[in-house]
Amino acid sequence: DAKTTQPPSMDCAEGRAANLPCNHSTISGNEYVYWYRQIHSQGPQYIIHGLKNNETNEMASLIITEDRKSSTLILPHATLRDTAVYYCIVPPQGGSEKLVFGKGMKLTVNP
Amino acid sequence: EAGVAQSPRYKIIEKRQSVAFWCNPISGHATLYWYQQILGQGPKLLIQFQNNGVVDDSQLPKDRFSAERLKGVDSTLKIQPAKLEDSAVYLCASSQTETQYFGPGTRLLVL
């Protein structure tokens, strides 16, 4: 499995963009990058996933570098409700259902 | 669309007692997962079902943990006998494609 590295925590001001980094330097050619988040006392929630091209949905944007060794999850206008632990996951090729969660990164959105 | 349902939400037992958790996945989702999340860590997969068959139970402590999904819908996870280190949140998730949808979890405290 490609290992991912995230900083343990990050702060962001409410209304500003939150840029959450993730390194996955050992990612293989056909392995996707997934992002989930877990708000306190809730189960994890899917955010977005991508392979090569940048992806955007109603929750966030995912920017993957050209060499695919790192990515950034962007929350364009962070709100207090975005305070959560964010997990960057690279499941094994052919096993996209095999989510291996690390410790993730705690994002705190401050008023 | 109803989400993944789990019960109970909280359970306190003494060590060596037995406990069971119940999960009702999203309707039509063939794949069901049970995860264990110890405080401060990310969720860890215990077992994965595809319909009523086990796909992966490599990380399930089979001497004390068991799980079943008899009719390919609801699932139960049992611990017998419980140990102090089983204190954790037990999360159920289901999927139809690569995106997993998580329930709120059952918080277990073993005294």
Residue-wise pLDDT tens digits, A32-51? 999 999 999 999 999 999 99
Average pLDDT over residues A12-19: 97
Q: What is the mean pLDDT of residues A8-21?
A: 97
- Considering chain A, what percentage of its residues have pLDDT values greater than 70? 95
Confidence bin at A93 (pLDDT 50/70/90): confident
Q: Which residue has the higher pLDDT, A1 or A62?
A: A62
- pLDDT at position B102: 97
Which residues of B are less than 8 Å from A97 in CB distance?
A: 31, 33, 48, 95, 98, 100
In chain A, what is the greatest distance between 2 CA atoms, to the nearest angstrom? 42
pLDDT of residue A76: 96
Q: Is B91 on the interface with A (CB under 8 A)?
A: yes
- Check pLDDT > 70 for residue B1: no
Residue A75 has pLDDT above 90, yes or no: yes
d(CA B50, CA B80): 24
**CA torsion, ordered A103, A104, A106, A109, to nearest 10 deg:** -160
Interface contact flag, A45 B102, Cβ < 8 Å: yes
Tokens representing B80 are 């017998």
User: Among residues of chain B, what percentage have pLDDT more than 90?
Assistant: 93
Strand segments (E) across chain B: 5-7, 10-13, 19-24, 31-37, 44-50, 53-56, 65-68, 75-79, 88-95, 100-102, 106-110
Chain A residues close to B34, C-beta within 8 Å: none
